[in-house]
C-alpha cells in the first residue's frame, strides 16, 4: 500500500460504507443484536429448565418472602464431541468474571454505565473517522452491536446468557477450556480482530488536507 495518502483510492466497498455510514452502522448492529437475542432466547428455552425458588427481602424493616423464577442448565447439545458444545450459563459479571467480587447492588449499574460509555465512545470514533475504510468501520459496527446485545441482557436480566462452549484441545487438560460465550461476544471478538488487523496493516494517516482528498475521492468514486 502506498504511503502517499493522496495516491490512495478507496475500494468500492469502503466508498459504499463511507457514503452510507449511518445505514451501515444501523444494519450491522441490528443483525448482531437480533442474532444475539434470538440465540439467547433459544438457549434458555432449549438448554435450561425454569425453577421457582423463594427469595426473602427486607421491606420497611420486615422480611418479605416472594417467589422468583430462575433458569438452570438441564441439557447439553454436542456439536463436535470433546470440542464444541451448547450449554446454558448465566454470567452476572463482566468478561472473564472480572467483577465477580463486586456486590450485586454495585455491579449491575456499574456494568450498565461502563457499557453505555463504551458505546458512546464507539459511536464518536465511528462518525469521526477521517477516511473511507470499510473494514475498520465494519469492525466498530460489530463491536457496537455486540455491546448492545450484552447490555440488553444486563438491563433486562441482571446477567448475560452464554451458551457456546469450546475446548481447545479435545478435553486435553494441558489445553485451555475457553469461557462460555455468546453471539454478542463473538461480534466483539471479530471486530477486535479486524481492528488488530488494521493496526498492523494501517492506511496512511491523513492530515486535514488529505482527509478532504479522501472524501472527494469517495464522492467521485460513488458518482
Active site residues: 162, 185
Cell of 73: 442448565
Closest CA to 7 of 220, 207, 198, 204: 204
Amino acid at each position: 500500500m502506498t504511503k502517499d495518502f493522496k495516491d490512495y483510492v478507496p475500494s468500492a466497498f469502503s466508498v459504499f460504507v463511507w457514503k452510507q455510514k449511518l445505514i451501515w452502522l444501523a444494519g450491522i448492529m441490528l443483525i448482531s443484536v437480533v442474532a444475539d437475542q434470538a440465540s439467547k432466547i433459544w438457549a434458555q428455552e432449549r438448554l435450561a429448565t425454569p425453577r421457582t425458588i423463594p427469595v426473602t427481602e427486607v421491606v420497611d424493616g420486615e422480611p418479605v418472602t416472594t417467589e422468583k423464577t430462575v433458569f438452570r442448565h438441564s441439557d447439553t447439545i454436542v456439536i463436535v464431541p470433546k470440542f464444541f458444545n451448547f450449554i446454558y450459563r448465566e454470567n452476572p459479571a463482566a468478561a472473564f468474571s472480572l467483577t465477580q467480587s463486586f456486590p450485586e447492588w454495585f455491579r449491575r449499574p456499574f456494568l450498565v454505565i461502563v457499557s453505555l460509555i463504551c458505546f458512546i465512545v464507539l459511536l464518536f470514533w465511528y462518525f469521526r473517522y477521517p477516511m473511507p475504510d470499510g473494514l475498520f468501520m465494519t469492525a466498530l459496527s460489530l463491536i457496537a452491536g455486540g455491546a448492545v446485545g450484552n447490555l440488553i441482557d444486563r438491563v433486562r436480566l441482571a446477567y448475560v446468557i452464554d451458551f457456546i462452549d469450546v475446548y481447545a484441545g479435545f478435553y486435553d487438560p494441558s489445553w485451555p477450556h475457553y469461557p462460555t460465550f455468546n453471539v454478542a461476544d463473538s461480534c466483539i471478538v471479530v471486530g477486535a480482530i479486524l481492528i488488530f488487523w488494521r493496526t498492523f496493516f494501517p492506511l496512511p494517516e491523513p492530515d486535514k488536507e488529505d482527509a478532504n482528498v479522501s472524501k472527494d475521492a469517495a464522492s467521485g468514486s460513488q458518482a
